[in-house]
Structure formats: C-alpha cells, structure tokens
Amino acid sequence: MSDMTTNSHRTSLRNAADWMLVAIALPALAAFMLPLGARDGAPVGWLGGTMAPLFLSGVLLTVVAGRAAPKRVWGAWVELAGVALAWLLPLYLMKEGLDLSAGWGLWLFLVAATLLLWRVMGVLSGVPGWTRAVIVPGLFGLGLLVGWEVLVRGFQVPAILLPPPSRIASALAANAPVLWDDFRQTVLTSVLRGYVMGCGAGFLVAILADRVPFLARGLLPLGNLASAIPVVGIAPIMVMWFGFDWQSKAAVIVVMTFFPMLINTLAGLGNSERIQLDLMRSYAAGYGRTLVKLRLPNALPFLFNGLKINSTLALIGAIVAEFFGTPVVGMGFRISTEVARMNLDIVWATIAVAALTGSGLYGGLALLERVTTAWHPSMRRR
C-alpha cells in the first residue's frame, strides 16, 4: 500500500502494462495483414513501395525503448514520440497520393497508436505540476485536432460538411483583417459594453433588493420568466428599439445577463452565517460596514459564478442578435452571410474565434476568482 503511494507510476503500470501492451499489439498485428490504402483503385500494402516500414520500425523502436526506460515517465515520453510518428504516417501517405478510405490496415494501426497514447496519458497525468496541469490537457486537445484532421481527410469528408482543422486555420489566416474587424465590433464593442451594463445593473439592483424585501419578492419570479425568453425573440425587438449598431446587441446582452447576476448576487448576500452577522452587530457595525466587511466578501464565490455564466451568455447573445440587423461587420453577421454564400471555411474560422474568445473570457474570470477567493474551501491548497 505504501509502495503504491510513494511510487504510484511504477507499481500501477507494472500491473497494467502487460495487459495494455497485449491490447495494443492485437489490432497492430491485425493491421499488418490489411492494406494501407489504395492507389488508382489498387490496394497498397505495408510493403507497397512507400516509406511506411520506416515509420513502423520507428514506432516499434519507441515502444521497446519505452519499456526499457529506467523510469516509467521517461518511457512515457519516448512512447509519446512513437504515437506522434504513428499519426504522421497517414499524413505522409496522403501526401504520396494514396486513397486511405479503404486502408483498414492503417486505421487499425492508428487504433493501436491511440491505445498507446491512452497509456502515455495515464502515466503523465500522475506527474504533478505543469505536466498534469498543462501538458496533459494540451496533448488531449492536440490529439483531438490531429484525429479530426486525419479522419476528415482520410475518409474524404466534403469540406462543406466538415473542413479539416488545417483548412480552418488557413481560412483564419487568410481572412485575419476581416475577422479582426468582426471581433472588434462584436466582442470589444457590443459584448464588453453589454456585459458591464448587464452585470453592473444586476449587481446594483440585487443590493437594493436585498435592502427592500418586496423588490426581491417581485423580481425573482421575473428572473425565471426572463431566463425562458428566447434570444431569437428578443433580438429583433431590440434591433427595432435601439437600431442596428452595438446598442441593440448590448440591450440583448443586458436582458440575458441581468437576472443571472441579480439572482447570484442575492444568493451570495444571503450566504453569511447568523453567527458572523451577530458578530458584526456586537461591534455596532451598521448596514454599510457589514456589507463591505462581511457580506460582499462572503458573496464573492456567488458573484464569480454569475460573472462566469454571463460571459458565455453575452457572447451568444451578441452573435445571435447580429443575425437580425447589424452594420456590415460582426461575427454574427459574418456567419449569417457566409453561410448563405456557402463560404463555410470563414464560418468555421468565425466559430473558432468565438470559441477561443468565450474560453478566454471564462478562463480569465476563473483565474481572477482563484486569486480573490483563495480562502474558499473549494479553492484552498494548503
């Protein structure tokens, strides 16, 4: 038991490794009987005049070296190189002009490579620090992108249905000035202003409603009502009220973000314990001091919850609202017009920008939360 805790990689893997390797070897062995792909309709095998054997021996070498490595973690890094080599093989074969859609040998081989990656990730996720926090999720994401690229191109999925990531990336690069203008209009103008107004108003009204009980009683049911309002219903109305520019997008965002912030702030303000409030009363602290010294710090985790929910809501709200009228710029506008023109590469590029922006906003807030509420039980690291 103590051996497990002091050296978890080695012990757990010594037990698991053999079974895992057998599981990896089975599809790999089967793969050698099947073709890699086809050239001009004729199947091409592993020894069909390509450099595939070179890749194969490289991968085998890493697996053997990985087994022999004095430390499991070093072995894992060596095996990772093997995985990378295995996944480079289809990219090389496609460059050679092979049709991979019937290359079941190759696909089985890649299944084995994925199992090997699974094993590597299992070891790496046991290493504390940067490896576990950054490298493992990074490798996971990279693996998904490479898998997407290889599958889409290998099976020749039409780009109109799903383009490979490389094509989205080149569309991003080619249309960078346009996408930047869209980003500036949608995110830097509409989203930021609407977000600040919606969250700010929700917060201030919550403080007021906490002081004036009938406001809370009246507003909370409205919150449920508002959260059920569809954006596609409210957006055209806001465009009619406030015009095409950012004001109508900000208005949609305010409608969407006001109540989540209000409800979270109210819940946070009610989060102080009786004993803490009694303490403030015993110090003859008034409403204001109790709010600042006790109730707002106690509400911080709730405030961040509201802010994080709203960061994604605001982005969705702005993009959807732009479908209903906008100056000829903006991410929603771009998506709606380029879909109509069948220019799906740009649509995907815009989606990528939106996804990155959303995770960036969320991640920034999560980081800020970590800094300001390090004391909270959910954040504590002794």
Partner 1 sequence: MTSPHPLGVREATASRQGSDPDASPARSSVVVEARKLSLVYPTADKPVTALSEVDLTIARGDFVSLIGPSGCGKTTLLRVIADLERPTSGRIAIEGMTPEQARLKRLYGYVFQAPALYPWRTVERNVMLPLEIMGIGRAERQARAREQLERVGLSGFERKFPWQLSGGMQQRVSIARALALQPDLLLMDEPFGALDEITRDHLNLHLTQLWRATGKTCVFVTHSIAEAVFLSTRIVVMSPRPGRILDVIDCDTLPRERKLDIRESPEFAAIAHRVREGLKEGHSYDD
381 binds partner 1 (CB under 8 A): no
Please identify, using beta-carbon distances, which residue of 161 and 284 lies nearer to partner 1. 284
Residue type, 337: T
Q: How many residues bind partner 1 (CB under 8 A)?
A: 22
Question: Residue 93: helix, strand or coil by DSSP?
Answer: helix
The 281-300 contact track toward partner 1, x by CB under 8 A, reads: xxxxx---x---xx--x--x
273 binds partner 1 (CB under 8 A): yes
Please identify, using beta-carbon distances, which residue of 341 and 380 lies nearer to partner 1. 380
275 binds partner 1 (CB under 8 A): yes
Question: Residue 82: helix, strand or coil by DSSP?
Answer: helix
Please identify, using beta-carbon distances, which residue of 132 and 281 lies nearer to partner 1. 281
- Identify residues 140-179 at the interface with partner 1 (CB under 8 A): none
**Residue 154 CB-density burial (10 A; 0-12 exposed, 13-18 middle, 19+ buried):** buried
Query: Quick one: residue 288, left, alpha or beta (phi over 0 = left, psi -120 to 50 = alpha)?
Result: alpha
Please identify, using beta-carbon distances, which residue of 180 and 375 lies nearer to partner 1. 375
The 296-335 contact track toward partner 1, x by CB under 8 A, reads: -x--x-----------------------------------
In this structure, the number of other CB atoms found within 10 A of the CB of residue 272 comes to 19
Backbone angles phi, psi at 207, to 5 degrees: -65, -40
CA angle 335, 356, 91 (to 5 degrees): 90
Please identify, using beta-carbon distances, which residue of 39 and 376 lies nearer to partner 1. 376
What contacts 184, CB < 8 A, 6 or more positions away? none
What contacts 313, CB < 8 A, 6 or more positions away? 253, 256, 257, 260
Please identify, using beta-carbon distances, which residue of 70 and 377 lies nearer to partner 1. 377
Q: Give alpha helix (H) positions in the chain.
A: 2-6, 8-33, 52-68, 72-95, 104-124, 130, 136-154, 165-174, 176-183, 192-211, 213-227, 231-242, 246-269, 274-282, 287-290, 296-321, 331-340, 344-372
As measured in angstroms, the least distance from the Cβ of 297 to partner 1 is: 5
Could you tell me which stretch among 23-31, 124-132, 340-348, 371-379 binds partner 1 (CB under 8 A)? 371-379
| Residue 40 bridge partners (DSSP) | none
Please identify, using beta-carbon distances, which residue of 122 and 297 lies nearer to partner 1. 297
271 binds partner 1 (CB under 8 A): no
39 binds partner 1 (CB under 8 A): no
As measured in angstroms, the least distance from the Cβ of 283 to partner 1 is: 5
376 binds partner 1 (CB under 8 A): yes
Please identify which residue in 174, 208, 278, 287 interacts with partner 1, judged by CB under 8 A. 278
Backbone angles phi, psi at 156, to 5 degrees: 50, 50
Interface residues with partner 1 (CB under 8 A)?
A: 273, 275-276, 278-285, 289, 293-294, 297, 300, 373, 375-377, 380, 382
